[in-house]
């Protein structure tokens, strides 16, 4: 059973796995980068990190 590209749902090409093409790989990468850049890093400090650690401990 073959997997499909998570971006456009076309059958993937091994060369570009897990995507169907370099273009879709770039689209996914752009999503990651845009998401990272959209985070206001000035507001993420030690306090935010501690909150996540506390949740993990629970
Ligand atoms: Zn694709």
Do the beta carbons of residue 3 and residue 12 sit within 8 Å? yes
The number of angstroms, rounded, from the C-alpha of 24 to the middle of its chain's C-alpha atoms is: 13
Beta bridge partners of 4: 11
The residue extents of the domains of the chain are 14-57
Query: Measured between alpha carbons, how far is 27 from 39 in angstroms, rounded to an integer?
Result: 19
Residues 4-12: what's their mean pLDDT?
A: 95
In the reported structure, the alpha carbon of residue 38 is separated from the centroid of ligand 1 by a whole-number distance in angstroms of: 24
| Torsion (CA) 38, 43, 48, 49 in degrees, nearest 10 | 70
In the reported structure, the alpha carbon of residue 2 is separated from the centroid of ligand 1 by a whole-number distance in angstroms of: 14
Q: What is the per-residue pLDDT across 9-31, written as a single tens digit (0 to 9) for each? A: 999 999 999 999 999 999 999 99
In the reported structure, the alpha carbon of residue 39 is separated from the centroid of ligand 1 by a whole-number distance in angstroms of: 26
In the reported structure, the alpha carbon of residue 37 is separated from the centroid of ligand 1 by a whole-number distance in angstroms of: 23
């Amino acid at each position: 059973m073959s997997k499909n590209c998570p971006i456009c749902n076309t059958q993937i090409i091994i060369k570009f796995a897990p995507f169907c093409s370099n273009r879709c790989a770039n689209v996914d990468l752009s999503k990651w980068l845009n998401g990272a850049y959209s985070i206001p890093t000035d507001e993420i400090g030690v306090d935010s990190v501690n909150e996540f650690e506390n949740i993990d401990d629970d």
